[in-house]
Amino acid sequence: MTKVITHSLFTDFDIDLFKAGKHFKLYEKLGAHLVEVNGVKGVYFAVWAPTAQSVSVVGDFNYWTQGEHLLQVRWDSSGIWEGFIPDVTKGALYKYKIQSNINGIVTEKADPFSLYCEKPPHTASVVWDLDYNWKDEKWMQSRQDNNGLDKPYSVYEVHLGSWKRGENNRFLTYLELADDLVNYVKETGFTHVEFMPVMEYPYDPSWGYQLTGYFAPTSRFGKPQDFMVLVDKLHQAGIGVILDWVPSHFPDDAHGLGFFDGSHLYEHPDRRKGYHPDWKSLVFNYGRNEVRAFLISNAVFWLQHYHADGLRVDAVASMLYLDYSREEGEWEPNIYGGRENLDTISFLKEFNEVIYANFDGVQTIAEESTSFPMVSRPTFTGGLGFGMKWMMGWMHDTLKYFQKETVYRKYHQNDLTFSMTYAFTENFMLPFSHDEVVYGKKSIANKMPGDEWQKFANLRLLYGYMFTHPGTKLLFMGSEFGQSNEWNFENSLDWHLLQYDYHSGIKKVITDLNNLYKTRPALYEKQFTGEGFEWINYSDHQNAVLSYIRKGNNPKDDLVVVCNFTQVIREKYRIGIPRKGKLQEVFNSDASIYGGSGVTNSGILKIESSAYDGRDFSVELILPPLSVTVYSFV
């Protein structure tokens, strides 16, 4: 038997930080590390298991034999077990066999800090390293210029397992995606991609939202360094990378974090706080220092070692409220009698403070579906500290409106105008995400009413309205070419649809809207402030028309936007304009190149000294059917 040699990567200061919940690079200490001790190469193992009676490393190097390689517990009451095993090499499979001092319970667990995991359904951890020669220096050095809140931010949401499939419906690898996906995102003009969770997960139908390997990119698509290549190539193409991050819950799979050392180590011991009834999963104990350090270290890890440009935090609402999806009697109020989870609020504030203090040019984005205040406001003003928040209310109201037959829309204009009453209370991202195209909700395209022409005209109108509304943008894959079927995680997107004009027209619309967004400062410089938006007329419900101005830092960049939500062509439609000059149409969703009817406002449009809409000047336009038209001052 090869002896476990006493060795430690921890200093006393590390332990103090860990106990206080302030060690945010735990991945440098815990886990499996390829090191050399006294001239001998091997692996240093360290795992947190405070209620353990013994901890064995079992693996393919000792025939999975318990007791063969026993780790030693530290003397400092940290609960950390550690030791160096000579001659273990990169690629070795291992787990921790933990005998608890609680009734002799024995658990066999994957390493919470494993850098690489066996391909599911296998569950062992793999000894690995993070060696990689990055080539994205240009992006990283100028990231603030591409990733700031006053910059265009158009996000393509991707599920790696179903964006495109290979022969026999196999997954594409990270390396294949580094060619195909990067080229496609660059072609369509998105500024960022957002990956649904890439961290290791055991169950495909969870889409990655039930994690077991928090520090390991899923091995379904290749090795950790292969995922680095994908991120690297996106950066080299000038495309930012956002990762979905799931600190809200985790599954109770036997090899995962649940009941880790025979105790409720990572999950809250009170089932009213430690179990999620919707997802039948476990909830982290946000009040436990070591758990907070684990989670924040994990966030730091992906930003540091995988060069992520942002984290979209999943299911924030479920974290914030003690009564979330719970009936009366199934939850306990906080010490002030309220329903807010004070530990979660404290944790999220600290998470955001650590991220923004340590990384320039990154963003955190909250998927938060309630009216919880100041989600995207700095912590020093009482906010949670996120950079952005998903505008779920806008999404629901907008889709509800667009699903109505056009003859009824004049009665529901408030569904659209209501968003502007709260649009600047947060830094909002406008999301049409994967959640809107599953479970019988239909694809975005098939939510639209009318015959085929009207469906696609409505879809072009929807996207034009989205891109001219204040806020950043997010669109789920397939929606950019009018995918007809609901998303199915087991198959590729329906790429064959691009042979048809209406679908290729939608892709052309999205490409041109992305380029319009990126090249017109009025659409992004003040996207989170009321100074960047001015209604022209929001009350013409009889014609179902909205008109407004988007503004940047320079008035010469202002854009006039007019939306016609019916299929009736509006001849000689007059709108008020705040100043003299001329207008020119710069985008028209009804253009024939998109599959529209080709009704346009050609040439230069002269603004007249004729008062209208409460303004001293006005202009006469033709409003194409079911269209968004955008005009610049010339």
C-alpha to C-alpha distance for 631 and 557, rounded to whole angstroms: 10
423-455: b (≥16 Cβ within 10 Å) or e: bbebbbbbbbbbebbbeeebbbbbbbbeeeebb
Q: Is 367 a catalytic residue?
A: yes
Are 127 and 110 in contact, with CB atoms under 8 Å apart? no
Catalytic site residue from 367, 415, 525, 540: 367
C-alpha to C-alpha distance for 630 and 412, rounded to whole angstroms: 23
C-alpha to C-alpha distance for 490 and 438, rounded to whole angstroms: 13
- In the three-class reduction of DSSP (H, G, I as helix; E, B as strand; rest coil), residue 58 is classed as strand
Could you tell me which residues come within 8 angstroms of residue 539 by beta carbon, excluding any fewer than 6 positions away?
413
DSSP conformation class of 615: B
Paired tokens of 530: 């009321």
The candidate with the shortest Cα–Cα distance to 633, out of 518, 517, 552, is: 552
Place of tokens 């009216």: 371
Q: In what order do the strands lie in the sheet with 545-550?
A: 533-537, 545-550, 559-564, 627-633, 582-588, 604-606
| Burial label, 248 (beta-carbon count in 10 A; 0-12, 13-18, 19+) | buried
What sign results for the dihedral spanned by CA atoms 183, 187, 192, 198? negative
C-alpha to C-alpha distance for 525 and 151, rounded to whole angstroms: 6
DSSP conformation class of 470: S
DSSP conformation class of 309: S
C-alpha of 364 from chain center: 9
- In the three-class reduction of DSSP (H, G, I as helix; E, B as strand; rest coil), residue 69 is classed as coil
Paired tokens of 162: 């179903």
* Beta bridge partner(s), residue 628: 563
Q: Is 179 a catalytic residue?
A: no
C-alpha to C-alpha distance for 405 and 37, rounded to whole angstroms: 73
Cis before 624? omega within 30? no
Are 624 and 584 in contact, with CB atoms under 8 Å apart? no
What sign results for the dihedral spanned by CA atoms 258, 262, 265, 269? positive
C-alpha to C-alpha distance for 146 and 8, rounded to whole angstroms: 41
Length of the chain: 634
Q: How many CB atoms lie within 10 A of CB 530?
A: 12
Q: Which helix (H) or strand (E) holds 577?
A: strand 570-577
C-alpha to C-alpha distance for 52 and 73, rounded to whole angstroms: 9
Are 44 and 5 in contact, with CB atoms under 8 Å apart? no
DSSP conformation class of 555: G
Calculate the alpha carbon distances from 494 to 477, 507, 535 in Å: 11, 13, 39
Catalytic site residue from 314, 343, 397, 590: 314
Paired tokens of 424: 């600047």
Catalytic site residues?
Answer: 314, 367
